[in-house]
């Protein structure tokens, strides 16, 4: 099993949720996060003062899947979330050793 963490633009979340739903991928956890990478800071004005903004709003999507679903899910994230511009985000993949469903105590694949 694998855990996919995708940091994406907030404007792409609804489209990604729909595309994953079309794949019948429903289990996910969503976080609102702030971050920075290659994007340069942006000058903005707040109460007449110029401020430099270098942390940007992003959405973190976490999905745990069986190994054979990994490439389909990654391809979907890339297709939906890529604009070709700096700031599109990143995808991280981690191994998952164990899953336990709390309510039934099921373990492994059946706990997904």
Query: CA–CA separation, 43 vs 103, rounded Å?
Result: 49
Higher pLDDT pick, 109 / 3:
3
Predicted TM-score (pTM) of the model is 0.86
CA dihedral 63, 66, 67, 70 (to 10 degrees): -40
Q: Which residues contact 96 (CB under 8 A, 6 or more apart)?
A: 1, 2, 3, 64
pLDDT tens by residue, 19-60: 999 999 989 999 999 988 877 666 777 788 777 777 889 999
Q: Looking at domain 2-111, which CATH architecture does it have?
A: 2-Layer Sandwich (3.30)
pLDDT tens by residue, 54-70: 788 999 999 999 999 99
Per domain, the residue ranges of the chain are: 2-111
pLDDT tens by residue, 74-106: 999 999 999 999 889 999 999 999 999 999 999
- Phi-psi group of 22: left, alpha or beta (phi > 0 → left; psi -120 to 50 → alpha; rest → beta): alpha
């Amino acid at each position: 099993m694998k855990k996919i963490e995708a940091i994406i633009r907030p404007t792409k979340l609804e489209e990604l949720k729909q595309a994953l739903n079309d794949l019948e991928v429903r289990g996910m956890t969503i976080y609102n996060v702030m971050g920075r990478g290659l994007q340069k800071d942006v000058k903005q004005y707040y109460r007449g003062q110029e401020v430099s903004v270098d942390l940007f709003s992003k959405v973190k999507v976490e999905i745990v899947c069986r190994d054979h679903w990994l490439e389909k899910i990654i391809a979907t994230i890339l297709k939906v979330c890529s604009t070709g511009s700096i700031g599109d985000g990143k995808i991280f993949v981690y191994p998952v050793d164990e899953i336990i469903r709390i309510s039934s105590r099921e373990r492994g694949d059946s706990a997904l």
